[in-house]
Structures are given as C-alpha cells and as structure tokens.
Amino acid sequence: MRDYDLPSYEPTSVGNYPELGIALGRGAPSIYYIPGTLITNPSHTRQSSSDMASSFGTGVANLEWLSPIWGSVWRWPLLLAAIWLLHTTFITIYRLTWHPLASFPGPILARASYMYEFWFDVILEGRYTRRIEELHREYGPIVRINPDEVICNDPRFIDVVYPTGKEKRIKSKHYLAAVPPGLRLATVGTEDHDHHRLRRGSYVNFLSRAQIMKREQLIHEKAQQLCEKLLRYRDCGPFQVDAAYSCFTTDALTEYCFGQSLGNLETPGWNPSFRGTIDNITSLFYLTRHIRALARLVDIMPLSVCRFISTEISSLLELIRITVPQLVERAKSPNGTDAGEKAPTVVQAMLESGLPAAEKSFERITSEAIALVLGGTHPVSTTVTIATFHLLSKPEQLERLRSELRTVVSDETKLPPWSTLEKLPYLNAVVLESLRLVFGVASRVSVIAPDEELLYTPAEEALGASGVKTSYRIPPGSAVGVSAYVIHNNSTLFPNGEEFIPGRWLDEHGQRDRTLEKYLMSFSKGHRQCVGMHLAYCEIYIAVAALALRVWSNMKLYDTTLSDIAYDHDQLLAMPKKGSKGVRAVMH
C-alpha cells in the first residue's frame, strides 16, 4: 500500500515559500504543497536541536506578514502593560521603603496599596473602621492604614491632630473624595484651611449659641408638635421612631435656617423629607472615594436617566437639584415673603456677609444649604432615637430622668429654656451618652498639617503599645486622623463602651463630671468642628426633655433589639446591621 495516495508533486523547500515558514525555516522537512494542504515527506530525516534553533530564528525573521497585526493590535497594549507593571512595582517599592511614612507600622498591603482599604470599605461594605480597631491591638496606638495616611488611637493626640489655635489643617483629598455631589462647594467640602475659614465665617454667627438662644422658642414649638402627633398615634400600630424624630429635626432645621418649615409634622404619617435620601446615599460614600470618576458621572447625569438606574442616586439628585434650591430661592428674602414679621435666614446671612462675589453664587450657597440639611437631620434624630431605645429598655433610668425634669418643670407642655435644661446632671448625662454612641462621622476625619511636623510618643499604657519606645514624626503634608468610633470605645476612657451608661458622665455625688467631655468627638474637633453643633444640642436637649415627660411613658418598643441600633459598620455615618428595620415602637 502506498504511503500517500495523492498526485505527484515536486518536493520544495519552505525557503521558496516564506509564507509557509512559520517556526520552521531552512532545513525543515520537505513538504508537498497543495493549496489549503500541507503534507510532509515522511522520509525526510529529523533535524538536530541546533538546526532547529537555527531554523526558528530564520522563521521568526520571515514573519513579515505579521508586522501589520503586531503594530496595530498588540504592540501598544503590551507596551502599556509593561509600563503599568514597572510603574506599579516602583510605586510599591517606594511606598514600602522610601515613603515619608515608611517607618510607621501597619499591614504590608495597607502600606503598599489602597486596595486593602477598598476591600474592607467597598467589597465588605464599611468594615474598615472595625478592622482599624483590630489593627491598633496588633500594631499599637498609631497605624498606617493606607499608603498616605496614619491613624492614632491615643486620646492625648486628639488636640494635636485637630487644634483650635493658629495651626493650619487642610483636609486630605482622599477624605474629600467621599463628599457626595452637591457638597463640594460647601464649607464641609473645602480643602484649604484659609478658604474653609472664609466660608465658615460667613454664617457661623447665625448658628452661634447666643443667636440660637434668641430663637429657641421655635424649637420648643416643634418639640411640642412632635409630642402631640405621637400622642394622637395611640393604637395606630408600629412605626419607625427615627422617622418620627426626623420629621421634627427637618421641620426645626428648615424653619430656623430657611425661614419656612417643610411641614412634616403637619402631614399624616411619618414621612420625613430628607431622612430616606440620607440613608440611601450613604452607600455611595466609599464607592466614590475609591472610584472618583463615578462622582463626576453623577454630577453630569440627567435626573431622568438616574431614575431608571438607581433610586439612591436619583433621590440625592432630586435633593440637590430641586428641593434645596427651592428652599434657597424662598429664603433669599426673610420668610420667603414680603408680608408679616421677617425672621433671618442662613441664606441672607451669607449674602450679607463679607464674602467675595464669587462665593455668593446661587450654586455655592445652595451647596452650603445642602450640607446643612444633610448634616443637621441624621445626627440629631439618631441621637434621640438611641436615647429612646435605651431608656425604654431601662425603666429605672427613664424614671430617674423624669424625676429630675420635674424639679424644673411645672407644666409638661412648657419647658424651661435650653440653658436651664443643660444644667440638669442626669439629662446632660443621657444626652452625652447618646451622642457617644452616635459617633458623628464614625470612620475618621483625616487632615494634613501642611507646614508642621507632628510628633507622637506612645504612652506606656496605650492600647497595643507594649514595648514601644520610639517616637513617630509625622512629616508635613501627610494625612493623619482619629476615629470617633475607636476613641468612643477606648476601654481606658469608656469601659464597656458598647453599653449605654449615663453614669459615666457623673461624679460620685451624681453631679456633672466634665473629665470625659473633651474626648467626645460626635461633632468632630478643632477648626473643622460641626458649625451646627449648638443648634443640634438645643434640639436634642429640648426633644429628650419633652418626650420623657409627655410621650415615653405611653411608648413601647416593638420587635426591636439592641442589634437594630448598635454599630455594625459605617458609611461615614454609623450603621446598624444589614436588614435592620430600625427602632420601632407602638403608642398605647
């Protein structure tokens, strides 16, 4: 039988057909060439390894037909990949060896890349603060948590990081990347120290303690309105407590700042204007911090498109582009009307300030208004909600509070001034303990000392600092922060930190003890402290007093446990466990 039952063709060398010389070249086996078919001559002798190498080199030289493909498809991607790999390798080596923060302790992945933080905050959804607490136990009181930032758990260092004097602090770009769209022109989104001071100064007097005390009657009226509505809600089934309190904070805030209440307490049900929006957008904070293009995309995205893509983003854009601009427009003239007694507004305060004209644009003032709305709604309502849960769970604490309030209140519908209420030791202790468990910005507010080297020396008893003898120099331009959650759970300051213990703020005689108050970070610290802090305190004291006297004796928790209110993770703000329905109650 013949080896090949084919027509006879003359053997040929691949050298005569360079297009067939792929990986073969001179000296390759003779082949028969049939269009569309290659058949080798079985009688051809096998090549030596040296001949094969020579043939391979010649074959590569004959790949001229691949040149267009190589040039147009593979060359640039491979070149870019090589450049990226070299750049990443160099940056990693630099961050671990020559970076100004290279000597600070921390996980190697956190020191080398932002992906460590991304994993805990984005993939695991807000778990980096808890991880940082663990890192302090492992590495000591100061830890490098990403390539350009360190965090400290030593309470003695708080006033160094957040000073109140002439020292300058600017916000880190990494922190500001989490600021949602609409707030980047506001004071809270301002990076530079002097620029921040200029913007804050335009309305800080409007929110000063003295100014609030002049107008606190409207806060009293809203608190009594809240009580009346809750008492009318008897036998109407369970409701979300934080939603009810958000109606109060929203109405009080908008009337005080913009001269006109949104009327949440006057409408049926508990549907606060902003609380749902705030809860929805918090999930975006860490995502936009690490994927900054997403924030820019949200800025330019049409509202009609957002409604189909994400209810969270669309609710944020409605707040930024429709609701708050309408408030600002009405607040340009006091009370938004030409008739009647005219109350001042925060918008007027900014317009009449010494700000440059560019700082008085409608867009920028709207940005400040958005910051006030978002920052003034959630913390106050959450603080009162935490007080509600714990006092209803511990009747003896509620009764002690009610007994103390009765010493200054003869008519439950007419409370004494805020200045009188805050002097009551146990009421003050309840408020401070509730604020401690709210945390404010639970993660950390990272700042930069642009012109100053910060020196940190661990104390012998500092958490995780056993055997640490060295001091750490934080060079100018490096980000440093302190976590409110970590400080508020520091076992040295606050033993059993996850428990609600108002007595920790009292001395042995039951009087106010101010020792721990300097460590309370619910409103941040230093130059960047919350500008609306005094308004928040006024609302909290008045609301807690009114509810304790008139409502809580008729309120009962409904299908709610500690896990529905306790810190589980954070999205800048502290969040309970996933799937929690919040604190729910019934009126009877």
For residue range 3-19, what is the model confidence (pLDDT) as tens digits?
444 444 444 444 444 44
Does residue 315 lie within any of the structural domains? yes
Q: Is residue 468 part of a domain?
A: no
Q: How high is the pLDDT of residue 346?
A: 93
Would you place residue 449 in the very low, low, confident or very high pLDDT band (cuts 50, 70, 90)? very high
Asked whether residue 511 is domain-assigned, the answer is yes
Q: What is the pLDDT of residue 462?
A: 54
% pLDDT > 90, the chain: 63
Comparing 38 with 262, the larger pLDDT belongs to 262
Least confident stretch, 70-74, 199-203, 246-250, 573-577 = 70-74
As for how many domains the chain has, the answer is 2
- Average pLDDT over the chain, rounded to an integer: 85
**Pairing mode, if any, of strands 573-575 and 31-34?**
unpaired
State the amino acid at position 538 in one-letter form. C
The answer to whether residues 47 and 186 belong to one domain is: no
Residues in CB range of 345: below 8 A, 6 or more apart: 257, 258, 259, 331, 334, 335
pLDDT recorded at residue 297 = 82
**Domain membership flag for residue 134:** no
The full 3-state SS of 350-367, as one line of letters, equals HHCCCCCHHHHCHHHHHH
- Last residue of some domain: 6, 34, 61? 61
- Distance from C-alpha of 56 to C-alpha of 53, rounded to nearest angstrom: 5
- 232, part of any domain: yes
Residues 323-340: what's their mean pLDDT? 71
Report pLDDT digits (tens) over 244-278: 999 999 999 999 999 989 899 999 988 876 676 67
Task: Report how far residue 542's alpha carbon sits from residue 213's, in angstroms, rounded to the nearest whole number.
Answer: 12
User: For the ranges 299-308, 320-329, 498-507, which has the lowest average pLDDT?
Assistant: 299-308
Q: Give binding residues for heme as ranges.
A: 530
Q: What was the pLDDT predicted at 106? A: 96
487: CATH: 1.10.630.10
Identify whether 392 is part of a domain.
yes
Query: 27 is in which domain, residue-wise?
Result: 14-61
pTM score, whole prediction:
0.84
Dump pLDDT digits (tens) for 165-196. Answer: 899 999 999 989 888 777 889 999 999 999 99
Same domain, 208 and 351: yes
Q: What is the pLDDT of residue 250?
A: 92
| Residues 182 and 57 placed together within one structural domain of the fold | no
Q: Is residue 24 part of a domain?
A: yes
Give the end of a domain, one of 5, 33, 61: 61
Q: How confident is the model at residue 66 (pLDDT cuts 50, 70, 90)?
A: low
The last residue of a domain, from among 22, 43, 61: 61
Tell me, yes or no, whether 521 and 373 share the same domain.
yes
pLDDT at 68: 59
Most confident residue range from 150-154, 183-187, 575-579? 150-154
Strand 149-152 and strand 479-481: pairing? Answer: parallel
pLDDT-derived band at 440, boundaries 50, 70, 90: confident
Give the pLDDT score at 157. Answer: 96
Asked if pLDDT for residue 121 goes beyond 90, the answer is yes
What integer pLDDT is reported at residue 428 of this predicted model? 98
Q: What are the φ/ψ torsions at residue 337 (nearest 5 degrees)?
A: -145, 160
Binding residues: 530
In a domain, 107, yes or no: no
Q: Which residue has the higher pLDDT, 280 or 53?
A: 280
342-346, 468-472, 488-492, 512-516: lowest mean pLDDT where?
468-472
pLDDT of residue 337: 46
CA pair distance 339, 336, nearest whole angstrom? 9
Strand partners, 447: 171, 480
Question: Which tens digit of pLDDT belongs to each residue from 97-108?
Answer: 999 999 999 999
- Is residue 371 within a helix (H) or strand (E), and if so which, with residue range? helix 362-393
The reply to whether 278 and 410 lie within a common domain is: yes
